[in-house]
Amino acid sequence: MPPGHRTLRRDSPGGRRGRQELSLLACGPAAGRTEGGDPAVSTSVQPPVQPAQTESPLLQIENLRKTFTVRSSLLGARRELVAVDSVNLSIPAGSTLGLVGESGSGKSTLANMVSGLLAPTQGQVLIEGNRVHDGRGRVSLRGDQGAQIVFQDPYSSLNPRMPVRRLLAEPLQVAPRVPRAEREQRVKELLDQVGLPESAMDKFPHEFSGGQRQRIVIARALARRPRLLVCDEPVSALDVSVQSQILNLLKDLQKELGLTYLFIGHGLESVGFMSDQLAVMYLGRIVEQGPAHQVLGRPVHPYTQALITSSEAVPFRDGGTVELQGEIPSPLNPPSGCVFRTRCPLATDICAEKRPELTPRESTRLAACHHR
Beta bridge partners of 369: none
Q: Who's near 148: CB < 8 A, 6+ residues apart? A: 115, 221, 222, 224, 226, 228, 229, 230
d(CA 118, CA 139) in angstroms, rounded, equals 9
State which amino acid sits at residue 213.
Answer: R
- What pLDDT is recorded for position 213? 96
Are 301 and 307 in contact by the 8 Å Cβ rule? The answer is no
Measured CA to CA, the distance from residue 332 to residue 81 in angstroms comes to 5
Q: CA-CA distance, 34 to 36, in Å (whole number)?
A: 5
Name the region of 86 (left: φ>0; alpha: ψ -120 to 50; beta: rest): left
| pLDDT, tens digit only, all 372 positions of the chain | 444 444 444 344 444 444 344 443 344 433 333 333 333 433 333 333 333 444 689 999 999 999 999 987 777 788 999 999 999 999 999 999 999 999 999 999 999 999 999 999 999 999 999 999 887 777 777 656 789 999 999 989 999 999 999 999 999 988 678 898 899 999 999 999 999 999 999 999 999 999 999 999 999 999 999 999 999 999 998 988 899 999 999 999 999 999 999 999 988 889 999 999 999 999 999 999 999 999 999 999 999 999 998 876 555 455 567 777 778 898 889 999 999 999 998 999 999 999 999 999 888 899 999 998
**Any bridge partners for residue 67, and if so which?**
82
Q: What is the structure's pLDDT at 318?
A: 55
Q: Does residue 287 contact residue 369 with C-beta atoms inside 8 Å?
A: yes
Helix, strand or coil, per DSSP, at residue 300: coil
C-beta neighbour count of 312 within 10 angstroms: 9
Give the model's pLDDT for residue 320: 61
pLDDT at 135: 74
pLDDT value for 229: 97
- Decide: 146 and 226 in contact? Cβ < 8 Å: yes
Burial 56-82 (b: 16+ CB within 10 A, else e): ebbbbbbebbbbeeeeeeeeeeeeeeb
Query: For the chain, which residues make up each domain, given as ranges?
Result: 57-277, 287-367
Amino acid at 33: R
Pick the CATH number of 57-277 from 3.40.50.720, 3.50.50.60, 3.10.20.310, 3.40.50.300: 3.40.50.300
